[in-house]
Structure 1
Amino acid sequence: MSSTTRAFRTSPAAALPAAPAAPDRASGLSPLGLFTILLGAALPLIDFFIVNVALTTIDKDLHAGPALLELVVAGYGLAYAVLLVLGGRLGDTFGRRRLFLTGLVGFGLTSLACGLAPSAWVLVAARVAQGAAAAMLMPQVLGTIHATTEGHRRTRAVGLYGATQGLSMVLGQILGGVLVAANLWHTGWRAIFLVNVPIAVVVLLLAPRAVPATRSPRPEPIDIPGTVLLTATLAALLLPLTEGRAAGWPVWTWVSLAATPFLAFAFQRVEARADRLGRTPLVPPSLLRLPSLRRGLALLPPFGIGFGGLMFVLAIVLQQGLRMTSVVAGLALVPLAVAVFLASFAGPWLVARRGAGRVVMLGALLQLAGAVVLFLTFWAGWPHLDTWALAPSFAIVGFGQGLALPMLFRVVLSDVPHEHAGVGSGVMTTTQQSSLALGVATIGSLFLAVLGSWGMRDAVLAALLAWVGMVALTGALSLRLPRGIS
């Protein structure tokens, strides 16, 4: 453990006697408990990507229009991103299993509301509520892993968590295509939300017995000013970027973007002042001074922006550009999903020999190679491409992601103290989710802008070139990761 971690500051308020709490290591995390929380963790990310392939069907059924369709995607992503750190703090304070179950119930009910929505506006409202429920659920997963495992068991658990995240991003679009095409019981697009309900019920039945009850041994009060400013900062950045193009970039979008750095500066000052006065900031500045966390977090934006944008673009290109059915478009992504799954087993073996930092770098380099191959495949073969032509590049990209993402999570949380497991997980997941949303907003907007002016081939090449740039930046930043983390 680093000297920075040993010197991690404990505020006077945190040192006061706390109400009795389940100690962080009250019991270990059993295989069934790990399976339970990982199944719960898959739901929010699957739901982020599953909507991509159903937007056309939703538009036809609910007469939504481009702006409301953007809100169906952005409303969920925005609520999810801005509340994740608060969700982590609430889990540390009131109990991670309790917040996991609360978020799970909320996610199941809001998924049902999405599936039964009679109008586009009702669907948007339900999606916002669904994102808020996901933000309560998600930080508890890594928080629980961090608090109840150590050594090899933690490496394995975090690796499986990262593999679950990577698979969920891909399986969301595969599952979405299959469900929309299957039209089960004539539910059409509604099945992509209703499928969450039985899964949530299964996890809800397993969790009370299988998941240990943990929370911080020194529960801390909620930092209301910090929470409000962080929410305002992320909303000011993400909302105009996700809604601006569909709305025609009105004045409020530019005002909001201009306000973002000032809100971020105000958040930093408020948190630093709270720390100096012995209060409990939402994101303790001492946490961000941990080299492993700070350097690991720096990789998540280019990683998430690139992959979030890629999956959004592929959902359109495979069906509208290459004329694949939704099922065939889903099958085209199977090599990517299989490669992520296989890499999740190779990752721990490589970490034991080379360290997590080097494995992240190897994964980033493999992703870069796959990105270049995919770009050349589209450049040379358009529009005569099928699933077999795309499979090699998808497999390389998937294996690289399956190596890098789980180990990157391991690096970020390696020196976080146990009492801050929830907030550390929340900070990391917020960065990841915000980056995915930014990827859809930026690379997705680039793709749509070029599509309108130059056509589908040039649009996909421009988007892939932007993705190659993001992957190259990820690889460059991975050189700065600590090498000794195992």
Structure 2
Amino acid sequence: MRRLGAQASGPDSAASPALGPLGLLTLLLGAALPMIDFFIVNVALPTIERDLHTGPALLEMVAAGYGVAYAVLLVLGGRLGDMIGRRRLFLIGTALFALTSLACGLAPNAWTLVGARVAQGAASALMLPQVLATIQSTTTGARRGRALGLYGATGGIAAVAGQVLGGWLVAADIAGTGWRSIFLVNVPVAAAAMVLALRTVPETRSAKPARIDVTGTVLLGATLLALLVPLMEGRAVGWPLWCWLLLAAAPFVAAGFWLAERRAERTGRDPLVPPSLLGNHGMRSGLLVALPFFTGFGGFMFVMAVGLQQGLRLGPVSAGTALAPMAVAFFTASLLAPRLVVRHGRRVVTTGLAVQGVGLLIVVAATLASWPHMGPLDFAPGMAVLGFGQGLAMSTVFRIVLSEVPADRAGVGSGVMVTTQQSSLALGVATLGTLFLSLASSVGMRDALVTAILVQVAGGAAAVVLSLRLPRQVR
């Protein structure tokens, strides 16, 4: 078996065509859609609650169902792309994403919307791993580094843009669609992505596709469900016994998954997540940084959406506009990061994480000084600093994690990375969101928001320390 620390290979085969600029843009468009949809629903939740006459438990399932299905199936999606062709599965996933988005937009009641959101998350899990895997298998050297940096930037920009766009769409109430427009807008965009993919994205697959690891898939899914479902739903349903039983079972199921994967690799079978993949220093250290970083990012986006709308009583447009400086600064930093990382290596990540912490503290200071008489401009300085730091860190982390993954394992490597990202985002919503909502009812919205952000600052400090273990230079 090939040693994972070796130089990353190029395309899967010599016949594989290179990925051109328009093909890369098409893939990034496809990647942005599921990332936007993870966050876009945040600003629409109050409107959905009023329109569908639903309670908090069901409302949280609208957000949680998508994230859980997404995280559970991502690694499997990467493996399937290795087997049947990455462009083919990208097209299938995009088509299903369009259909499930249409189902969300036409949902007559809350339970139908929950079911459609779960299906939409599953479709996203088929789409997204193919983006990173195709980049890995059709690019080399500096082109791969730039493409991975742009992918990382797309994730952050899509998250912020999702909430900005969501606010504008809900307020615009196009043809009386209200919140439904945040899902219906996906249909033409997904259709355009499919047409472009047929013309510009080369087909790739693994030269030696691995078989489906049924045991590993079931155990990984059970681990994520046991952890994420009670954390995301526990507060809304009053923390019944089943929540605590699932949380208690989660570490044991995770241990069972890891033992099963080690046994599968040792006996020559095809584990869903090969333990040797995590033996690669760049991937292992990058994932350790990604966990607290994305957990904090997901939690911050959720608590800000709720705090701005329910705490400050800002409308969806104003709430989205407050995040606009963050998106602009993120985009600017992500354009600078690929050049900076060539010269400064891992210090770009460390610096970005430190700058993010400064931005968070500026937001805290503004909140303490001006609450409840705050508008979008009061948040602008902190959001700009915060976004710039995140733009430096996020795009570089993706490049580090995937820089040494061999092309024939591009699917599983990208699946592991994106699963870590999405699970951490969902974990952030569950943990920081639960902390924030619990404190809001006792100490007030302002202090709850400040506390949640300070917890994120602490997590960011841990990420700074962990970033010192990253490879010094990044290919």
Moved over 6 A (4+): none
Q: Determine which of 346, 367, 370 is the counterpart of 2:359.
A: 370
Aligned-residue CA RMSD (Å) = 1.5
Q: Determine which of 428, 431, 454 is the counterpart of 2:443.
A: 454
**Contact 2:83–2:209 at 8 Å: present in 1 too?**
yes
Aligned match of 2:307? 317
Aligned amino acid, residue 326 of structure 1? P
Aligned match of 2:349? 360
Q: Distance in 1 between matches of 2:20 and 2:213?
A: 33
**Contact 2:27–2:197 at 8 Å: present in 1 too?**
yes
Q: Distance in 2 between matches of 1:196 and 1:61?
A: 21
**Contact 1:24–1:216 at 8 Å: present in 2 too?**
no
Could you give the per-residue CA deviations for residues 173-220 of structure 1, whole angstroms, max 9, x where no partner exists?
A: 001100000000000110000000000000011101100100111111
**Displacement after TM superposition at 1:328 (Å):** 1.3
Aligned amino acid, residue 252 of structure 1? W
**Displacement after TM superposition at 1:400 (Å):** 0.7
Aligned amino acid, residue 139 of structure 1? P
**Contact 1:24–1:147 at 8 Å: present in 2 too?**
no
Aligned match of 1:132? 122
Q: Distance in 1 between matches of 2:12 and 2:406?
A: 16
Could you give the per-residue CA deviations for residues 151-172 of structure 1, whole angstroms, max 9, x where no partner exists?
A: 1111111111111101011011
Matched, 1:189 2:179: yes
Q: Determine which of 259, 275, 290 is the counterpart of 2:249.
A: 259
**Displacement after TM superposition at 1:384 (Å):** 2.2
Instruction: Give 1:325-474 correspondences, 5 Å limit.
Output: 325-355=315-345, 357-474=346-463
Aligned amino acid, residue 112 of structure 1? L
Q: Distance in 2 between matches of 1:485 and 1:310?
A: 28
Q: Distance in 2 between matches of 1:94 and 1:76?
A: 25
Could you give the per-residue CA deviations for residues 266-311 of structure 1, whole angstroms, max 9, x where no partner exists?
A: 1011111111111110011110110110000001111111111111
Aligned amino acid, residue 171 of structure 2? A
Aligned match of 1:35? 25
Q: Distance in 2 between matches of 1:381 and 1:135?
A: 42
Aligned match of 2:6? 6
Instruction: Give 1:24-423 correspondences, 5 Å limit.
Output: 26-355=16-345, 357-423=346-412
- Name the SS for the 1:5 alignment partner: coil
Aligned amino acid, residue 6 of structure 1? A
**Contact 1:53–1:177 at 8 Å: present in 2 too?**
yes
**Contact 2:12–2:408 at 8 Å: present in 1 too?**
no
Aligned amino acid, residue 361 of structure 2? V
Give the count of matched residue pairs. Answer: 472
In structure 1, list runs of 5 or more residues that go unmatched: 9-20
**Displacement after TM superposition at 1:455 (Å):** 0.9
Could you give the per-residue CA deviations for residues 36-61 of structure 1, whole angstroms, max 9, x where no partner exists?
A: 01000000110010001111111111
Aligned amino acid, residue 398 of structure 1? G
Q: Distance in 2 between matches of 1:119 and 1:200?
A: 24
Q: Distance in 1 between matches of 2:60 and 2:375?
A: 29
Q: Distance in 2 between matches of 1:25 and 1:454?
A: 63
**Contact 1:416–1:424 at 8 Å: present in 2 too?**
yes
Q: Distance in 1 between matches of 2:291 and 2:12?
A: 35
**Displacement after TM superposition at 1:385 (Å):** 2.0
**Displacement after TM superposition at 1:25 (Å):** 6.1
In structure 2, list runs of 5 or more residues that go unmatched: none
Could you give the per-residue CA deviations for residues 355-414 of structure 1, whole angstroms, max 9, x where no partner exists?
A: 2x1111111111011111111111222222222221111001101111111110000011
TM-score normalized with structure 2 length: 0.97
**Displacement after TM superposition at 1:230 (Å):** 0.4
Could you give the per-residue CA deviations for residues 2-39 of structure 1, whole angstroms, max 9, x where no partner exists?
A: 9752399xxxxxxxxxxxx9737611111110010100
Q: Distance in 1 between matches of 2:101 and 2:131?
A: 20
Could you give the per-residue CA deviations for residues 402-456 of structure 1, whole angstroms, max 9, x where no partner exists?
A: 1111110000011111100011000010011011111111111111111111111
- Name the SS for the 1:165 alignment partner: helix
Aligned amino acid, residue 422 of structure 2? Q
Q: Distance in 1 between matches of 2:6 and 2:330?
A: 35
**Contact 1:158–1:410 at 8 Å: present in 2 too?**
yes
Aligned amino acid, residue 96 of structure 1? R
**Displacement after TM superposition at 1:319 (Å):** 1.8
Change (3 A) 1:47 1:24: farther
Aligned amino acid, residue 229 of structure 1? L
Q: Distance in 1 between matches of 2:24 and 2:339?
A: 20
- Name the SS for the 2:202 alignment partner: coil
